[in-house]
Homo-oligomer: A and B are copies of this chain.
Amino acid sequence: MYRITELARQFGLSRSTLLYYDRVGLLSPSGRSGADYRLYSPADRARLETICAYRKAGLTIEDIRSLLAMEGDDTSEVLRRRLKELGEDIRDLQVKQRLLAGMLRITAAGGPHADMDKETWIAMLRAAGMDDAAMERWHVEFERRAPEAHHRFLISLGINETEALLIRKLSAGAGKGKEENRRTDVFQP
- Residues of A whose CB lies within 8 Å of any CB of B are 53, 56-58, 75-76, 79-80, 82-83, 86-87, 89-90, 93-94, 96-97, 99-101, 103-104, 106, 109-116, 120, 123-125, 127-130, 134-135, 137-138, 141-142, 145-146, 148-149, 152-153, 156
Which of B94, B103, B116, B153 contacts A113, CB < 8 Å? B153
Of the residues B80, B125, B146, B153, contact of A138 by C-beta under 8 Å: B125
Residues on B with C-beta less than 8 A from A146 are: 114-116, 120
Pair A128/B128 contact, Cβ less than 8 Å: no
Q: Are B134 and A130 in contact (CB under 8 A)?
A: yes
Contact partners of A135 in chain B: CB under 8 A = 128
- By beta carbon, the residue of chain B nearest A136 is B128
A124–B112 contact, CB under 8 A? no
Q: Residue on B with the closest CB to A103?
A: B79
A150 to nearest B CB, angstroms?
A: 9
Which residues from B are CB-within-8-Å of A103? 53, 57, 75, 79
Chain B residues within 8 Å of A58, by CB:
93, 96, 100
Judging by beta carbons under 8 Å apart, are A129 and B125 in contact? no
Q: How far is the CA of A152 from the CA of B97 in the complex (A)?
A: 15
> Can you name 27 A-B residue pairings with CB atoms under 8 Å?
A58-B96, A58-B100, A75-B103, A82-B100, A83-B101, A83-B106, A83-B110, A86-B93, A86-B96, A87-B97, A87-B110, A90-B90, A93-B93, A112-B153, A114-B146, A115-B149, A116-B153, A120-B146, A125-B138, A127-B137, A127-B141, A128-B130, A128-B134, A128-B135, A128-B138, A128-B141, A129-B130
The reply to whether A100 and B120 form a contact with Cβ atoms under 8 Å apart is no
Chain B residues positioned under 8 Å from A141 (CB to CB): 123-124, 127-128
